[in-house]
Structures are given as structure tokens and as C-alpha cells.
Amino acid sequence: MRESRFNGVLFLIGLLLVWELVAQAELINPLIVPPLSRILRIFAELFWSGHIPLQILASMKRALLGYFLAAAVFIPLGISMGLSQTVYRLFEVVVEMLRPVPPPVMIPVALLFFGLEDEMKIFVIFFSCAWPILLNALDGARNVDRVLLNTARTFGLPQRKIIWNVILPASSPQIMTGLKVSLPIMLILVVISEMVGSTDGIGYFILDSQRRFRIAQMYAGMFALAILGYTLNQVFSLLYKLVMPWHVALMRLRDGS
Amino acid sequence: MNDSRSFNWQGWSVFGALLLLWECASRFNPDLQLYLPPVSQILGTLARLIVSGQIVTHLAITFTRFLEGYFLAAVIAVILGAVLGYFRFAHSLFETVIEFLRPMPSVAIIPVAVLLLGIGDSMIVAVTVYASLWPVLINTIDGVRHTERTLIDTGRTFGLSRRRLLWQVVLPAASPYIVTGLRVSLSIALILVTTGEMVAGSRGLGFFILDQERSMNSGNMYAGIILVAGLGYLLNRLFLLCEERAMKWRHGMIAREAV
């Protein structure tokens, strides 16, 4: 395993070196492929001047608001749909009708209602994160171990306590899966909505740099976005371990046996 | 999913009630009509646009781009995934590159594609290929790597050549993984085609929808959205149908194992 890591990193560095050399030798139009060193220099400049962090902050504010809003609405809805056949049947058709809409297509609708404001992006992210969160919460609640439920009932726990102390913990791994799947979707949609209608944010920054032919700056923006995506993933795994240490331990145990 | 296969009249009545609410709210409120025309009017617009053929061209263009991008991505990803999954050394080389590229949201590649390919079909197809490549690639690598050693060893014992081993043992064993990747990519491809058309396109449904919004023809815009949703729904259904046919042998196997 150690050796394979080493190979991979070496190969990556090799590729980046080839890029640098090709660009330095101007084998490809240097306007389109600037040298890597220049991209990194511009990235550092834009980072320390606070320009890129500000754009990322603007994007993250919208993204997280939409994301948490979706979580707040669709986790409870998913759980109630998973627990009650009546609730499930009430909402099933509406969900099935809305789900096939590709999320970017909602951007024009949001533009119509909210203009270029933050609410536009928040709505689009809310809409697109809704389905993975909802369906996973639904599945999680539906597949709670019958024995657990019956035991709780036998001990005479009130319905509210059953939901909080039995169903929620038992379905939390799957709820977390929904939240995890939604994370990259959130990032994609915030970038798209900023490309289509915005005056700031990292998506706007990248597209705007391209339109002004500041190509190195465009690549710097993409680099920042990749770092952001990576960081978000890491933060999520960390939170996962903090919130559900018992589940992590359980999985390790299962893998070991 | 549901054990009672009967018609879900509760669900349909909720859906119908919502549409009715929309219809009434819009009819009795002229201010709202600009943003949200009555449903009946939208459906009329959709019918008119289809009959006049105006929207059909956009639909055909979007569909063609989708097919090209999706299938190209599938072929490339399965081949690449099989190679990377099968040969340890190749995997060790590319592992870090893949980890490096994957966290970046794929849509960020659109400006680069515009730069390299200009605006047009090839740009949109290229972006679609790039984005829908990842799920299939990752799943294929996983599937090939998780192929049981016994299967491969048995194949070797029977003297199968490397190529036949790949085609007749490894790929079938990895196919459930590959199918999962293909299903995820299906919706990603549609997202990327419509996004590409919105950001830098002059034809196609994505362009049509955004263009109608900008010229405040909200009726046309909603008609376009209904059409895209219909396309997404049909593609998904088609995929499930094909999957069921193609993977029939596997369902049989799982059932036998359970017994």
C-alpha cells in the first residue's frame, strides 16, 4: 500500500512537470495552457489578497444555507414517510413527479422568482439536495430492525421517545449517507447557479475569468474549488466520526470478523 | 418498493389538489400570472410548441448530445476501469491523479472546455463525457478489484487466455458495480448537457429554457421544463428496463444463494 502511494504521487508530479515544460516551451497555445508555476503564483496572490477566500465565503454561505434547509425539511419528511404508509402514499406521486427534473433546469424558475439574489441559489440547492436526503431518510426509517421497535413498544415507551431514542439512532447511518451524497451535489449546483446568474461567488469568478481571458486566474479558481471540495469531504468524515463513533466502531468490528 | 401495488389514489389526489391550487392561484391573481401561468395554459403551450416543431428540434439536439456523451463516457470508463482494476501497477500510478481530480465539481470544467473547443456540440459532449466518466470509472475499478480470486484462479486453471479471462470472468463478475455506476451517470449526464447548454449554448432544451426565462415567456419556460423532466423520467425507466433484462442471470443467482 505504501509503495502504491509513492508511485501515484511520483506519477502526478511527473504529469505536472510535463505540463510545466510543455507550457514553458509553448508547444500549446500559452494563452490556453499557461505554465503551472504561473497558475500557482496567481493562486497564492489571489489567496493572500483575500480575493479567492471572499468568493468562496460568498458561495459557501448560499450552499450551506440551502443544504441545511433541505436537511431540516426532508429528514423529518423522509422519516415520517418511512414510518407511516399513509404519509408515504400521500407524498409519493408528488415526489415521483418532481424527482426527474434535472436540478439545473430549476435555475431559470428561481431566476424568475428571486432574480440574481442569494435566495435564487439557496432555492436551487434546496431543491437538488432534497431527493438524496429524502430517499435515504425514508429507507433508513423503513428498514429499522423490527425487533428494536417491538422491544421499545413492549417496554411501553411513548411514540415520541421511540422516534427519538430508537428510530432516529437506528436510521442515522442511512441519513448520513443521504447527507454525504448531497454534499458534492450542493457544490455542483452552487457553481452552476453562480455561472448562470450571479455577480460573485467562486462559480462566477471562474467563468468571468475565462470571459476576460485571464486564463491563469481561471485555473487558480478551479484549483481553489478542488481544494474546497476536498476539504468539505474531509470535514464531513470528521463530523461523521464525532457524531456517530458507535457506528464507526461497529463497522470496524464487522469488517474485522 | 411498495407491496400494495394498487393505484395510489391518495397520492394522485394530493398531486391533483396542488395543480388545482396552482391553477386557481394563478387565474385569480394577474400579478402572479407573469411568473406562474395557469397549468392549463402551460400544457396548451407545450402542445402548441410540440405541434409547431419548435421545441422538438431543441429536444432532439439535447437528446443527441446526451446519447453521445453518455455512451462515450461509458465505453471509455469501462475500458479504463477494467485496465486500472486489473493491473495493480497501472492503478498505483493513476490512483493519486484520480483522487486529485475527483473532488473538483465537474461543471467547473465548462470554462476550460469553452476555451479549448469553443461553444458548440463538441464542447457540451466533452463536458458530459468528463462528468459522467467518474462514477462508472470508480465503480468499474472497484468491481474488478473485488472479483473473487477463486473465479480468476479457476479460469486460469482451465487455461483461459488473459483476454478471455477479462471478458468472460472479470467483467461479468464486476457488472453489478458497473451497472450502479452507469445508473448514477445517467442523471449526471443529463445535468451536464442542460448546464452546458445554459452556460454556453445556442440550441438545445437547456438553452431554450433559460432563453425563454430571459425574454419573460414563462409559459414556454415551464413547457420546456416539463419536457426535460419527461426526458429524464423516460431515460430512467428505459435504463431500469435494460438493467432488468441484462442482469436477469444475476437475480437468479442471488435467489439461489438465498435458498
Residue B1: what pLDDT? 45
Residue B146: what pLDDT? 84
Residue A228: what pLDDT? 93
CATH superfamily of domain region B38-258: MetI-like (1.10.3720.10)
Side-chain-side CA neighbours of A105 within 13 Å: the count stands at 29
User: What are the tens digits of pLDDT across the range B201-222?
Assistant: 788 999 999 999 888 888 899 9
Cβ neighbours of A192 in B, within 8 Å? 107, 195, 198-199
Cβ neighbours of B212 in A, within 8 Å? 108
Same domain, A138 and A224: yes
State phi, psi for A158 to the nearest 5 degrees: -70, 155
Cβ neighbours of A113 in B, within 8 Å? 35
Mean per-residue pLDDT, B57-63: 93
A1, A16, A105, best to mutate vs chain B, most B CBs in 10 Å: A105
State phi, psi for B234 to the nearest 5 degrees: -65, -45
CB A99 within 8 A of CB A131: yes
Greater confidence (A93 vs B162) lies with: A93
Same domain, A27 and A133: no
Mean per-residue pLDDT, B91-102: 86
Greatest Cα-to-Cα distance within chain B, rounded to the nearest angstrom:
77
User: Can you tell me whether residue B200 is helix, strand or coil?
Assistant: helix
Range of the domain at A17: 1-31
Same domain, A23 and A65: no
- In the numeric block, which cell numbers belong to residue A115? 432574480
Buried b (16+ CB within 10 A) or exposed e, A82-119: bbeeebbbbbbbbbebebbbbbbbbbbbbbbebeeeeb
Top-ranked range on mean pLDDT: pick from A32-41, B44-53, B67-76: B67-76
User: Can you tell me whether residue A31 is helix, strand or coil?
Assistant: coil
Contact B199 A207 (CB under 8 A): yes
- Report the Cα B164 to chain-centroid distance in Å: 30
User: Can you tell me whether residue B216 is helix, strand or coil?
Assistant: coil
Same domain, A92 and A208: yes
CA-CA distance, A125 to A94, in Å (whole number)?
19
Side-chain-side CA neighbours of A80 within 13 Å: the count stands at 11
Share of chain B above pLDDT 90, in %: 44
Q: What is the dihedral of CA A27, A33, A38, A41, to 10 degrees?
A: -160
Same domain, A139 and A84: yes
A202-211 vs A168-196: helix crossing angle, rounded to 10: 30
CA-CA distance, B19 to B13, in Å (whole number)?
10
DSSP 8-state code for residue B34 = T
DSSP 8-state code for residue B87 = -
Same domain, A98 and A187: yes
Same domain, A79 and A5: no
Residue B2 has pLDDT above 60, yes or no: no
DSSP 8-state code for residue A50 = T
Q: What is the CATH number of the domain that holds A165?
A: 1.10.3720.10
CA-CA distance, B90 to B83, in Å (whole number)?
7
CA-CA distance, B195 to A106, in Å (whole number)?
11
Q: Considering Cα of B213, then B219, then B220, then B221, what sign does the dihedral take?
A: positive
Residue B128 has pLDDT above 90, yes or no: yes
CA-CA distance, B113 to B129, in Å (whole number)?
11
| Cβ neighbours around B106 below 10 Å, total | 23
Q: What is the mean pLDDT of each run of 10 residues along chain A (257 residues)?
A: 73 90 82 87 92 94 95 95 91 90 92 90 94 93 86 87 87 91 92 90 93 91 92 91 81 68
CB A62 within 8 A of CB A42: no
CA-CA distance, B107 to B192, in Å (whole number)?
7
CB B239 within 8 A of CB B182: yes
CA-CA distance, A216 to A34, in Å (whole number)?
6
User: What are the tens digits of pLDDT across the range B134-151?
Assistant: 999 999 998 988 888 888
Greater confidence (B257 vs A24) lies with: A24
Distance between B168 CA and the closest CA of chain A, angstroms: 28
Cβ neighbours of B191 in A, within 8 Å? 102-104, 188
Contact A102 B97 (CB under 8 A): no
- How many structural domains does chain A have? 2
CA-CA distance, B73 to B80, in Å (whole number)?
10
Same domain, A23 and A97: no
User: Can you tell me whether residue B190 is helix, strand or coil?
Assistant: helix
Chains A–B, number of C-beta pairs less than 8 Å apart:
157
- In the numeric block, which cell numbers belong to residue A161? 421517545
Residue A1: what pLDDT? 47
Chain B residue closest in CA terms to A114? B35
What are the contacts of B172-175 at 24+ separation with CB within 8 A?
B173/B143, B173/B147, B173/B148, B174/B82, B174/B85, B174/B140, B174/B143, B174/B144, B174/B146, B174/B147, B175/B143, B175/B246, B175/B247, B175/B250
The closest CB to that of A8, out of B95, B108, B114, belongs to B95
C-alpha to C-alpha distances, A146 to A167, B162, B174, nearest whole angstrom: 10, 48, 33
The closest CB to that of A195, out of B106, B199, B212, belongs to B199
CA-CA distance, B175 to B144, in Å (whole number)?
9
Mean per-residue pLDDT, B57-85: 93
CA-CA distance, B21 to A256, in Å (whole number)?
56
Cβ neighbours of B194 in A, within 8 Å? 102, 104-105
Q: Which of A143-147, B26-30, B127-131, B250-254 has the lowest mean pLDDT?
A: B250-254
Same domain, A135 and A214: yes
Contact B103 A5 (CB under 8 A): no
CA-CA distance, B250 to B232, in Å (whole number)?
26
| Cβ neighbours around B240 below 10 Å, total | 11
Same domain, A57 and A11: no
CB A207 within 8 A of CB B199: yes
Same domain, A65 and A22: no
Share of chain B above pLDDT 70, in %: 95
Q: Which of A214-223, B4-13, B238-247 has the lowest mean pLDDT?
A: B4-13
The closest CB to that of B218, out of A101, A112, A218, belongs to A112
